[in-house]
């Protein structure tokens, strides 16, 4: 049974060149997870200290496995919470005739 989980990640105080070099691979993986329906939403704080994600998974273990595949996983501290409710409003598609 698929559940939604909130993943609350804390990034290091110092963003190193090593971490920055991994960001393109991280972005690609997030895009793949979104395409596969595993990742519903993610957000990064303005100060780059926090990353939040809403994930579809069968279990908390599956979420941890997903997180450990993140190229930047070794730089993250994260907590996973099972959500009892997750609701959002998606903006309607806007088509341009130009």
44-97 tens-digit pLDDT:
999 989 999 999 999 999 999 999 999 999 999 999 999 987 766 565 656 666
Residue 76 counted as domain residue: yes
Kindly state the average pLDDT of the residues 1-19.
92
Q: Considering only residues 93 and 29, tell me which one the structure prediction assigns the higher pLDDT.
A: 29
Q: Domain total for the chain?
A: 1
Domain that holds residue 49: 3-22+30-82
Residue 38 counted as domain residue: yes
* CATH number (domain holding residue 64): 3.30.70.1060
Cα-trace Rg, the chain:
15
Is the pTM higher than 0.85? The answer reads: no
Residue 97 counted as domain residue: no
Residue 65 counted as domain residue: yes
């Amino acid at each position: 049974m698929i559940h939604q989980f909130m993943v609350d990640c804390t990034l290091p105080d110092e963003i190193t060149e090593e971490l920055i070099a991994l960001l393109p691979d991280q972005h690609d993986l997030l895009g793949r997870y979104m395409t596969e329906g595993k990742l519903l939403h993610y957000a990064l704080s303005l100060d780059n200290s926090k990353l939040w994600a809403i994930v579809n998974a069968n279990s908390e273990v599956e979420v941890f496995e997903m997180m450990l595949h993140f190229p930047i996983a070794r730089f993250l501290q994260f907590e996973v919470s099972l959500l009892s409710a997750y609701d959002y409003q998606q903006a309607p598609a806007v088509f341009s005739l130009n």
